[in-house]
Amino acid sequence: MRLAVLVSGTGTILDAMADAGLPVSLVVADRPCRAIELAVGHGIPTSVVERDSFGDDFDRTAYTEKLVAELDAVDIDLIAMAGFGTILEQPIYERFAGRILNTHPSLLPAFPGWRAVEEALAHGVQVTGCTVHYAELEVDSGPILAQETVPVLPDDDVASLHERIKAVERPLYIETIRSLLDAPPTREVCK
């Protein structure tokens, strides 16, 4: 199976994937970022499908179609979002149904969205964690594949808690992706 990783930021998850020996075929970013530099350093092919806007005029569907074309051009089978900052539209979920993974810094369905760690602290939870799930059109939804808990410590702030979640998230994501890559292919039923 050919794995693509979608990135937008520093690339810490991508770096862990490469160090663990996951066979990443392509790294795609939605903006110039450090993750692309890391991918190049690991010898992984890269592409930047750059957003033309971060405002209200952003055409999310057209962007998603460009991204799908880029993934199709290299016959990608499985997609792992790794800190990817663009919410995608229906074309990718139609083309790669059941083959897009995401990781999220909470125990979904609790605290979906960008401020998961901050919300966990604001709600005073004693335990949070991370979730690996199949991505679907609705943000941070989709069937859950794996979760791991992280205790919230009395002196935690957003930065310290997020770092402890990341320490658990990276190996969990890698293990989950590896299990999917190693799974025997499913047989399609002809109609």
- Residues designated catalytic: 104
Per-residue tokens: 78? 């499985």
Cβ pair 83, 35 in contact under 8 A: yes
Task: Please write down the long-range contacts of 49-57, taking CB distance under 8 Å and 24 or more positions apart.
Answer: 51/86
Measured at the alpha carbon of residue 87, what is the angle toward residues 85 and 88, in degrees to the nearest 5?
Answer: 125
- Give the integer Cα–Cα distance in Å for 167 and 176: 15
Give CA 16 to chain center in angstroms: 13
CB contact set of 142 (below 8 Å; sequence gap of 6+):
102, 133, 134, 135, 136
Cβ pair 83, 169 in contact under 8 A: no
Q: How far apart, in Å, are the Cα atoms of 67 and each of 23, 96, 169, 176?
A: 20, 12, 26, 24
